Amino acid sequence: ASVDLIARAESAHELTHAEIEQILADDSINDILFAAADRVRDKYVGEEVHLRGLVEFSNICKQNCRYCGLRRDNHDIERFRQTPDEIVHMAEKAAAFGYKTLVLQSGEDEWFTVERMTDIIRRIKALGVAVTVSIGEKTSEDYQAYRQAGADRYLLRIETTDRALYEEHDPGMSFDNRLRCLEDLRALGYEVGTGCLIGLPGQTLSSLADDILFFKKIDADMIGVGPFIPNPDTPLKDAVGGSFTLARKVMSLVRLLLPDSNIPATTAMESLNPQGRMIALQSGANVVMPNVTEGNYRRMYALYPGKICINDTPGHCRNCITGKIQAIGRRVADTQGFRKKAPDR
Ligand code: 5AD
Ligand code: SF4
Ligand code: FES
């Protein structure tokens, strides 16, 4: 029975593809799964929640992912590109709010050449924070240059490990190149973050089981799981979208199988449920990525509709999230929050 599988996974951190699929299909055990993931989270990464300040610095993207509002064929959003000085200034303010990690995220914007990007990374690294970069698929040489400039981590979601589905929803992109990127990042000594979307049209529970096993196979350091939310400005505007509960289940299973990884309570979870991030933190997650982007740029970084905090300031979000974390009996970490690999694994 599914309960026995969950109990076994809680101690052994292993499940087969068929077992994962069975748990995903069985909604009678959801609360048991969430509670098990919460215990594994507590045992391996503890009560601390790591905050990563998210800087969204350009919404210009050369790619055309069918689910994403930043896709190049979307002419219904206003585009922005911050200058390097603006980005560094935003980062300085975020560091002053106490963020120990800053995440530099953008669309695949070619204005940010490797020279410009390394300059920005160096200046932000000098603030004494851990630097995560999330700007898409680049060459090995570029990844190496960012690393030498001080980048500690890189986020690149695989989105789905179903090759056909990937190439359908990310037209013009190559699944093999995405894998190559993740391998390069690992070889260069980054902490590697990846993740997937839940509820893409055509995605099956079997495919989600593959995603979970993929994260385990590459021993991902960070795994972000979020529901796909249909965006009216994209070809997938009439799609159904992912469910909060299914995304939560996948996240909990990831915690069971990768007990010492860092797992964010994603913004998309909160966009579907007003308590989504706190529920996620109580179902296996141990990281939150509050937005530290300022002014209208938040609204313009329109990946999907209903994105939270679009009218809030960095200071407001910082206080808001601290209060919420304390209200569920957890504590905001004051370290950079690198993955601590469990000794027995
Ligand atoms: N719904 C949810 N998440 C989305 N992303 C892009 N578009 C959507 C959407 N419509 C996610 C992708 C990407 C991350 C930055 O945002 O997974 O990796
Ligand atoms: Fe660009 Fe990323 Fe959106 Fe794809 S998901 S269109 S690469 S910003
Ligand atoms: Fe932005 Fe709560 S985190 S308003």
pLDDT grade for 343, boundaries at 50, 70 and 90: confident
Asked if residue 345 has pLDDT above 70, the reply is: no
Q: How far is the CA of 36 from the centre of ligand 2 (A)?
A: 34
Is 340 inside any structural domain?
no
Which CATH number do you get for residue 78?
3.20.20.70
Is 339 inside any structural domain?
no
Read off the tokens for 50: 């790591």
Residue the block writes with tokens 């120990």? 100
Residue range 115-158, pLDDT digits in tens: 999 999 999 999 999 999 999 999 999 999 999 999 999 999 99
Please work out whether the CB of residue 65 comes within 6 Å of at least one atom of ligand 2. Answer: yes
Q: How far is the CA of 114 from the centre of ligand 2 (A)?
A: 19
Please work out whether the CB of residue 6 comes within 6 Å of at least one atom of ligand 2. Answer: no
Residues 6+ apart with CB under 8 A from 164: none
- In angstroms, what CA-CA distances link 256 with 10, 36, 144? 6, 8, 32
Kindly state the helix (H) or strand (E) to which residue 182 belongs, with its residue range: helix 175-187
Ligand approaching nearest to the C-alpha of 310? 3
Distance from chain centroid for Cα 254: 13
Q: How far is the CA of 196 from the centre of ligand 1 (A)?
A: 9
Please work out whether the CB of residue 60 comes within 6 Å of at least one atom of ligand 2. Answer: no
Rounded to whole angstroms, the Cα distance separating 327 from 115 reads 44
Q: How far is the CA of 67 from the centre of ligand 2 (A)?
A: 8
Please work out whether the CB of residue 157 comes within 6 Å of at least one atom of ligand 2. Answer: no
Please work out whether the CB of residue 181 comes within 6 Å of at least one atom of ligand 2. Answer: no
Rounded to whole angstroms, the Cα distance separating 202 from 277 reads 26
Rounded to whole angstroms, the Cα distance separating 77 from 315 reads 26
Dihedral sign for Cα atoms in the order 266, 272, 278, 283: negative
Q: For 64-77, what is the mean pLDDT?
A: 98
Closest listed residue to residue 207, CA positions, set 19, 14, 6, 21: 21
Is 345 inside any structural domain?
no
Is 137 inside any structural domain?
yes
Is 312 strand, coil or helix?
coil
Could you list the residue range(s) of the whole structural domain that residue 273 is in? 2-332
Please work out whether the CB of residue 61 comes within 6 Å of at least one atom of ligand 2. Answer: yes
Residue the block writes with tokens 């037209």? 171
Q: How far is the CA of 197 from the centre of ligand 2 (A)?
A: 13
- What are the DSSP E strand ranges found in the chain? 48-58, 101-106, 130-134, 153-155, 191-198, 222-227, 287-288, 331-332
- Provide the terminal-to-terminal Cα distance of the chain, rounded to the nearest Å: 27
Facing residues of 223 across strands? 194
Q: How far is the CA of 64 from the centre of ligand 2 (A)?
A: 7
Asked if residue 344 has pLDDT above 90, the reply is: no
Please work out whether the CB of residue 67 comes within 6 Å of at least one atom of ligand 1. Answer: yes
Ligand approaching nearest to the C-alpha of 170? 2
Please work out whether the CB of residue 68 comes within 6 Å of at least one atom of ligand 1. Answer: yes
Report the phi/psi class of residue 224: left, alpha or beta, with left for phi > 0 and alpha for psi in -120 to 50. beta
Read off the tokens for 249: 């289940």
The answer to whether 87 and 104 have CB atoms below 8 angstroms apart is yes
Size of the chain in residues: 345
276 DSSP assignment: H
How many separate domains does the chain show?
1
Facing residues of 139 across strands? none
Give nearest CA residue, ligand 2 atom 6: 71
Rounded to whole angstroms, the Cα distance separating 305 from 273 reads 13
Q: How far is the CA of 290 from the centre of ligand 3 (A)?
A: 7
Rounded to whole angstroms, the Cα distance separating 269 from 243 reads 9
Give nearest CA residue, ligand 2 atom 2: 107
Q: Of ligand 1's atoms, which has the minimum distance to the CA of residue 159?
A: 17
Is 15 inside any structural domain?
yes
Q: How far is the CA of 343 from the centre of ligand 1 (A)?
A: 34
Residue range 185-230, pLDDT digits in tens: 999 999 999 999 999 999 999 999 999 999 999 999 999 999 999 9
Q: Of ligand 2's atoms, which has the minimum distance to the CA of residue 68?
A: 3
Is 69 inside any structural domain?
yes
Is 315 inside any structural domain?
yes
Read off the tokens for 200: 């893409």
Is 284 inside any structural domain?
yes
Residue range 283-316, pLDDT digits in tens: 999 999 999 999 999 999 999 999 999 999 999 9
Residue range 17-57, pLDDT digits in tens: 999 999 999 999 999 999 999 999 999 999 999 999 999 99
